[in-house]
Amino acid sequence: MDWSKENELLVIPLLLGCFAVWWLMPSAKKRPRIVGVLAGLAACIMIQGMLLPQAGDYIRSVLFFVFAAAAVISAGLMITDRNPVYSALWFALVTLSVCGLFLLNAAPFLSAATIIVYAGAIIVTFLFVIMLAQQAGTATSYDQQPIQPLMATVVGFILLGVLLFTLQEWGAIDGTSTNEHAEPRQFIAVPAEIQPNPLSQAPHDNPHEIGSLRVLGRSLFGDYLFAVEIAGTVLLIATIGAIAIAPRRAQGTL
């Protein structure tokens, strides 16, 4: 009983959210969508207290809520939309919102790279594939309805719950979490004398340079030079493999 009381802040929104996503899933019989929407909103409002960023900066809090709400709502719509093309577009919106959160946490390169890779490349590929697969234009049922909506929702929320619970236990979320025994050193740094990946560190004379292009380039083509080269090899194999798998013109199509 103690456990459930301690964690009701976490458990009740999760159950509500799970119900909301399951209710909004496309299904054969029509359900009033408003029930799911209300449950989902209630879940978001209940859990936002836990995720609140450090109090203080007003603008920062507003931006956080705008991006976070956009990400969560678009993610819900991406899962529950009946049309796969719309789902792909909602996914683009999720990516953009998450990139906003990255920017708020002072990770401009990560944010830009995510936009280029996801919104620029992956979602365009998704759209190509969806449109090529639906050439006939007939509304087939296989991509209109989920096969196992209940199982998928429950498993997804169990994963989410375990992750949130772990992060709460870790005690780094904020002061209002129920963790009484937060320790000051929740992170552990590598001992200073070891210095792994020395080229990725900021130079001693200018420690503020850590996010700069210069350090990024030195890290990418210094410490991670071999990883970049091997990634290039993987791409070469994938490209040539795609050509080798594609049927030749003389052999007709697949």
Q: Which residues of the chain form contacts with another protein (CB under 8 A)?
A: 162-163, 166-167, 169-170, 183, 185-191, 194-199, 222-227, 230-231, 233-234, 236-238, 240-241, 244-245, 248, 250-251
Convert 204-238 to b/e letters by CB count within 10 Å (16 or more is b).
eeeeeeeeeeebeebbeeeebeeeeeeeeeeeeee
Task: Give the torsion sign (CA, 199, 184, 105, 205).
Answer: negative
CB of 31 to another protein, least distance (A): 30
Please give the Cα distance from 111 to 230 (Å, whole number). 24
**Nearer residue to another protein within complex by CB, 51 or 167:** 167
Q: How far apart, in whole angstroms, are the C-alpha atoms of residue 110 and residue 122?
A: 16
What does the radius of gyration of the chain's CA atoms come to, in whole angstroms?
23
Residue (66 or 234) nearer to another protein, CB: 234
- The CB-of-250 to another protein minimum distance in angstroms stands at 4
Q: Of 143 and 169, which CB lies nearer to another protein in the complex structure?
A: 169
Looking at the Cβ atoms of 61 and 219, the one nearer to another protein is: 219
Residue 223 is given by DSSP the state I
Q: Which residue lies nearer to another protein by CB, 41 or 50? A: 50
User: Shortest distance, CB of residue 168 to another protein, whole angstroms?
Assistant: 9
Smallest gap from Cβ 33 to another protein, in A, equals 30
110 or 127: CB nearest another protein? 110
Query: Tokens 């159950």 correspond to what residue?
Result: 15
Number of Cβ within 10 Å of residue 74's Cβ equals 20
* Closest distance to another protein from the beta carbon of 191 (Å): 5
Contact 18, 47 (CB under 8 A): no
Least distance CB 78 / another protein (angstroms): 17
